[in-house]
Amino acid sequence: MINKTINTYKKKLIAKVEKRGIYENFGEDEIRKLEDKFIDSSDYSSKMCNMRSLIRDFSDWAMNYKG
């Protein structure tokens, strides 16, 4: 589920870049939405840590995306 959501956000962000170009805080809204939807701040199970890692990877992708 989280992988599908991340891929959807990537496609939307790439489309935004094609229309408007890269902008400050690129992807921050999407990262916040992912964290709100999937992360339980009190849960440190392996499943939750894996989700945090996927979101961190998405954050790194957005931070380094050049278009």
| Structural domain spans, the chain | 25-67
Confidence of residue 62 (pLDDT cuts 50, 70, 90): very high
* Predicted local distance difference test score (pLDDT) of residue 67: 83
Question: pLDDT tens digit string along 18-37?
Answer: 999 998 999 999 999 999 99
The model scores a pTM over 0.75 = yes
Contact 30, 62 (CB under 8 A): yes
Contacts of 10 (CB under 8 A, 6+ apart): 58, 61
Contacts of 31 (CB under 8 A, 6+ apart): 55, 58, 59, 62
